[in-house]
Structure 1
Amino acid sequence: MPNSQTAKQPVDLSIMTEIAGENREMITLLIKHLLKEYPVKIAEMRQSIVGNDPEKLREAAHKLKGTVSNFGARQAHEMAFALEKMGKENLLDQATETLAKLELEFYRIEKYLKVNYL
């Protein structure tokens, strides 16, 4: 169960700062890239579930998992990892609920990043 600090901040940009340094422009570009790409990956995962394509689910979840790890988005990372595993193990019947939770988490991430960094 997340603590109140985690609930308030869905990302930990100190991890991004470790990667990009104090280069605010680079961090902004990376944030914009995340905000552009996550809806695409969510749509790919949704389509893979509807289309009964566990490999596409695994691939999309894996890519998204790597991206969110750069932002310290722990909950999103855990959900993407779970979806990746569901794809690998062909457990698509369990993926719809997890994907819905991941999508809600990304709304939190997007709102937080737009308010605090863009």
Structure 2
Amino acid sequence: MSDIHLDHSVLSALRDVMEDEFPVLLDTFLADSAERLRQIRQANAASDSQALRLAAHSFKGSCSNMGALELAGLCKQLEDMARRDQLSDAPGVILLIEQEFLTVRGLLQEARRGLPH
């Protein structure tokens, strides 16, 4: 089931490349994601299409790099909506992004357990 949410081959490759720094990468992604979600919510609340597009684009890239492809896809959907300045459905997509992030966060925290601090 977690394969839907995380591409484990991407995580494995990151683990191989990052070696001892892999736990730091996970921690950084999780902390950074909370800030990106805050920016997305703030831009949506302000009906700022440009800021929303940039925040969604940025989060999409980091999610893709971490193998969170479903989450990246939702961010792309939000980015496209903001690019077209069609924000009426944005709250629903943001809710899906938040829900998917909770799942991804849990899976990454599980992967993080047992790794050095």
Which amino acid in the other structure matches residue 98 of structure 2? E
Relative distance call for 1:5 and 1:111 in structure 2 (3 A) is closer
The Cα of 1:46 is off from its aligned counterpart by 0.9
Residues 69-100 of structure 1: CA deviation (Å, up to 9, x unaligned):
11211110110000111111111111110001
The unaligned stretches of length 5 or more in structure 1 are: none
Work out the CA distance in 1 between the residues paired with 2:13 and 2:106. Answer: 22
Which amino acid in the other structure matches residue 18 of structure 1? A
Q: Partner of 1:93: helix, strand, or coil?
A: coil
The Cα of 1:20 is off from its aligned counterpart by 5.5
Q: Does 1:57 align with 2:52?
A: yes
The unaligned stretches of length 5 or more in structure 2 are: none
Q: Contact 1:16–1:27 at 8 Å: present in 2 too?
A: no
The Cα of 1:21 is off from its aligned counterpart by 2.5
Matches within 5 A, 1:10-89: 10-19=5-14, 21-89=16-84
The Cα of 1:52 is off from its aligned counterpart by 0.9
Q: How many residues align?
A: 113
User: Could you tell me the TM-score, scaled by structure 2's length?
Assistant: 0.86
User: Could you tell me the TM-score, scaled by structure 1's length?
Assistant: 0.85
Identity %: 24
Work out the CA distance in 1 between the residues paired with 2:8 and 2:112. Answer: 10
Residues 5-58 of structure 1: CA deviation (Å, up to 9, x unaligned):
534xx2124214435635332221111111001111111111111101000000
Which amino acid in the other structure matches residue 97 of structure 2? L
Q: Contact 2:2–2:107 at 8 Å: present in 1 too?
A: no
